[in-house]
Structure 1
């Protein structure tokens, strides 16, 4: 009888513990699974055979209504980072990953459109690996197809001012897509009131970024003379391979360069040099067993993916997107797991990573009326400000821009110095203080104030 009672007590305690965990999970994500915001909608667009892209629209909460406010498209980096997940719940959407209201959401000033891009990212998926994109040109073509379907379904947004904001590799995609979109508008293939685009901590000129790592870390006392020499040596290897057009080999050297940086710096955080002790956003997510392609031999792309994309699918976010949000949306196919194809998306761009798109930015400044914006987090390393200024100085507008006045701005919504800003004609540059690679996460008030400055006209 004694053993029976102990056994019963053991099972009772286990059951109680499981019940508490289940209750806590339910309370954490307790929200109405119906549409939570006025004008909120989502859908899939089949951009090509066997290639399906997912988007999520929020109409602004601004008192004047969505017809009187701009629409902002957010393009996440990676490639393979989910805009509907990370950009939405970790950076600029109305709710955070715990489903609490975000004080600095961009929704209060503009409508927001998140796209899981390139196809295969987030909730987007391909039925065949051959349908993945391998270049920013292919990514741009898919985005154009999606936007054509979007404005057909939501015609009110044809005349509303339209802006693209981006982060990291998303900036490279934004430069390419902006040219494609502008040309399509001129050719009357799509109706959009395209006003401008903003590239945040963007991978525009990989060689300039890599070449700047050593001087930046040296200036911030993170490495010594020996560390500087080691980083500069591997950076020159990257530059040589790029100049020779050996982009696959250059990507391998980029991976080597990050290894050298980690070794000589004591594993500095690539996304925020003040955030010691790892990347700051971590992930234990297992790769999806649904729509999963055959694994290939590990290459330099594996470590790069684990450093720069897998953390965007962190535990809490994965739990949210593959649980309550999936249930709320109600249209995600059973065999699709959020983020299940992100590694394949990243690897498919393997020949594209180290290519430079500075000339595309230059043409858009010179040949279009679009507002062209660069914004940089002060504490970012992977796409640091020093590297951004190096490629920016190669633009035709650089000399004239240099003579413009640089202004220190305090946030209207927060009484601190938020950023420096400089403007010349249709070009703006923002230096965001106290922020790393993910500017809206690190300095939400500064990012929101910047957005209001950009869309003010």
Structure 2
């Protein structure tokens, strides 16, 4: 074992839990706790204080990370697979966001990760409830940790987390204006986000065809399945639309020999996820989109050493144990767009960033660009007139790593050679983007 790895593991082992139920590891680098956001509904948060050699944490921003799914865990996947200080093998991550910001992971909605509900009716069923729950947590967090009230606070998100982030950002803006939450909200960043589900689904066929992953017959079949989803959405039959979305994904798999929805150039990490006889669409979609966020090795880490380290997880709560219930309870809200929410954020003056991976299928960039062009924001015409700017790859100067453009309080980043999980695929570029959005670069 190398010296750096040994030191990291020593830090991990030396973490202690104090009598208040709030963990304070060595050198006060972390904190975590639960907040009861509704009766019997408990949300778990985990904070890493910024660890920069050149600045104290009070001089750096606070970033909250929201995972997708719904049912994917930020404390697990976002932390150990994407942006946290250690990877799943408990080795230091060179591209951790903690070197440039304090990072707050929240297992959201209730039932995700280590969050849990005591009753079957405790799950959220729409983004309005998700936002309401998060406002309770944020009021509690900033109330208890007043040192963060003046620090620029950003919400970063991925996938369905972006849909939740938009709704949360709008409610947070209202709460700050009303004086019920004290914080310095500085912006929201929507990564590969499920803002306009229909625009994503309707562009699957053209995107796959343009990348030589569909022939003419396959294109017709995928477009046909997408058309069924569109009709259900237009008829406001959103739960049916979610079921037909699942059917459309099966059609995509059948015509592409099992393309990876998260990165079209990467094989599925586990077995192909074709539909099993008699399997309902909720179970199928859980296997497709929740299980990849709860790999066997990550589950072993979270339900073993991490659970022991945290010391506050109830004995009957398993990390990820309620994820399928989270997803199924949100099924009726899943295909509803929140473009109007983004419009309101921009009109209110909130800084909004959209960023997307070039190789993502599930939320392809073509679909993102479509809903952006539908915005009613008065600055859209000015944004559209701009040409994008190239960003060098941080590891390979002279090679393009991304394009971006920004106008007033809106920005868009096109991240090259990245799929749905941009920090996993292009960690250095994701870190640079975060610094730019938080005005550190």
TM score, norm. by length of structure 2: 0.92
Q: Deviations over 1:280-322 (max 9, x none)?
A: 36799xxxxxxxxxxxx95311111110011111011101000
Consecutive unaligned residues in structure 1, runs of 5 or more = 1-25, 285-296
Selected match of 1:407 from 384, 389, 400: 389
The separation in 1 between residues aligned to 2:345 and 2:32, in whole angstroms, is 30
Deviation of the 1:44 alpha carbon:
0.5
* Structure 1 ranges of 4+ moved more than 6 A: 26-30, 281-284
Q: Note if contact 1:61-1:108 (Cα within 8 Å) is conserved in structure 2.
A: yes
The aligned residue for residue 336 of structure 1 is 317
Describe how 1:112-151 pairs up with structure 2 within 5 A.
112-151=103-142
Change in Cα spacing, 1:100 to 1:247, as seen in structure 2 (3 Å) is same
SS of 1:322 mapped into structure 2: helix
The aligned residue for residue 295 of structure 2 is 314
Max radius of gyration: which structure? Answer: 1
Deviation of the 1:406 alpha carbon:
0.5
Q: Note if contact 2:8-2:92 (Cα within 8 Å) is conserved in structure 1.
A: no
SS of 1:323 mapped into structure 2: helix
Consecutive unaligned residues in structure 2, runs of 5 or more = 1-5, 16-24
Describe how 1:269-418 pairs up with structure 2 within 5 A.
269-276=260-267, 278=268, 280=269, 299-367=280-348, 369-396=349-376, 397-412=379-394, 414-415=396-397, 416-418=399-401
Deviation of the 1:39 alpha carbon:
3.0
Deviation of the 1:178 alpha carbon:
0.5
Change in Cα spacing, 1:36 to 1:439, as seen in structure 2 (3 Å) is farther
Root mean square deviation of aligned Cα:
1.9
The separation in 1 between residues aligned to 2:136 and 2:330, in whole angstroms, is 20
SS of 2:356 mapped into structure 1: strand
Q: Note if contact 1:282-1:311 (Cα within 8 Å) is conserved in structure 2.
A: no
Number of corresponding residues: 417
Describe how 1:200-239 pairs up with structure 2 within 5 A.
200-239=191-230
The separation in 2 between residues aligned to 1:224 and 1:308, in whole angstroms, is 25
The separation in 1 between residues aligned to 2:27 and 2:295, in whole angstroms, is 25
The separation in 1 between residues aligned to 2:172 and 2:271, in whole angstroms, is 35
The separation in 2 between residues aligned to 1:418 and 1:393, in whole angstroms, is 24
Deviation of the 1:28 alpha carbon:
11
Selected match of 1:87 from 78, 96, 102: 78
